Amino acid sequence: MTPDRDVASRFLIEHAHFDEDLSLWRAVAAERGGAVLDLGCAAGRVTLPLLEDGHEVWAVDADASMLAEVAHGAAALGTGAAQRLRTVLADMTGFRLGTRVRLAIAAMNTLQVLLEPADQLACLACVREHLEPEGGEFWFDVALPDMADIAGSLGLVRAEGHHRDDAGGRTLWHSAWFQDLDTVTGTAAFVHRVEEVADDGAVRQWHRHHLVHLFSAPELHHLLARAGLTVLQAFGDFAGSPLEPGAERQVYRCGVA
């Protein structure tokens, strides 16, 4: 396995425990019908299940190694999945598909990697351009931040559970902590630590450093409106609970304004 391929495949391994959103994306894709745009698809955590369900998927990412891993996973699925996959190497702020889709998805905090308002708006406007004008929808999720809690807990390590990788003969333990927070710009730096414990007792640690934007709900509504999108529904989790203080997530269903 090449180094780049190893990085991409590790992404799937490290995120294998996070699947609470997949039933929603699969249900929405089934309801909408037609082709799906998976924005910031990474190694195919969402793309591959959608291909498995029979959808045509446009997988957009700026990392060629991630797209190669998606293509490898699609080929392994068989049943024509590779023929239904369209990989697009592009930045989220300026991709071009040459077609429109019934559904676009940006899963697992993908939009939060865009730190500047100009980039956030460019991305949303690009999504808007690729939605079918009648019935096209954009679904995405981001965290619902508690700024006071984050500011008061910088450096505090929080356990985030563990999961088993049977194929690799190991257990992955997750923890994370915020390093810094700019309350003016809404930019936060945090570290995700993965402690990998092999069946023979060997231990390795991986540290993933992230710089993200923390969106407030009013900010998102403003950005979406400027991009020509309208909020049809907003939820506090993937099960459809109300978006209210204390929720951990913001899940949005948007249409063309």
Residue with tokens 């402690």: 195
Residue 165 and residue 204: Cα distance in Å, rounded?
A: 14
Residues 127 and 39: beta-carbon distance below 8 Å: yes
pTM of the predicted model as reported, rounded to 2 decimal places: 0.94
Identify the pLDDT of residue 4: 52
Structural domains of the chain sorted by starting position, each given as residue range(s) with its CATH number in brackets: 3-144+215-256 (3.40.50.150), 147-213 (2.20.25.110)
Structure tokens at 179: 């390093």
pLDDT per residue, tens digit, the chain (257 aa), is 444 557 777 888 888 788 999 999 999 999 999 999 999 999 999 999 999 999 999 999 999 999 999 999 999 999 899 999 999 999 999 999 999 999 999 999 999 999 999 999 999 999 999 999 999 999 999 999 999 999 999 999 999 999 999 989 999 999 999 999 999 999 999 999 999 999 999 999 999 999 999 999 999 999 999 999 999 999 999 999 999 999 999 999 999 99
Structure tokens at 2: 């090449």
Residue 50 and residue 44: Cα distance in Å, rounded?
A: 9
Residue with tokens 């396995």: 1
Identify the pLDDT of residue 185: 97
Burial of 37: CB neighbours in 10 Å, binned 0-12, 13-18, 19+: buried
Residues 51 and 84: beta-carbon distance below 8 Å: yes
For residue 248, give the nearest of 177, 142, 138, 173 by alpha carbon: 142
Interacting residues of 80 by C-beta distance below 8 A, sequence separation 6+: none
Element (DSSP H or E) covering residue 49? helix 47-52
Identify the pLDDT of residue 5: 52
Question: Which residues pair with residue 191 across a beta bridge?
Answer: 177, 209
Identify the pLDDT of residue 3: 40
Residue 176 and residue 253: Cα distance in Å, rounded?
A: 29
Interacting residues of 66 by C-beta distance below 8 A, sequence separation 6+: 8, 11, 41, 42, 43, 44
Question: DSSP assignment of 134-163, as one string?
Answer: TT-EEEEEEE---HHHHHTTTT--EEEEEE
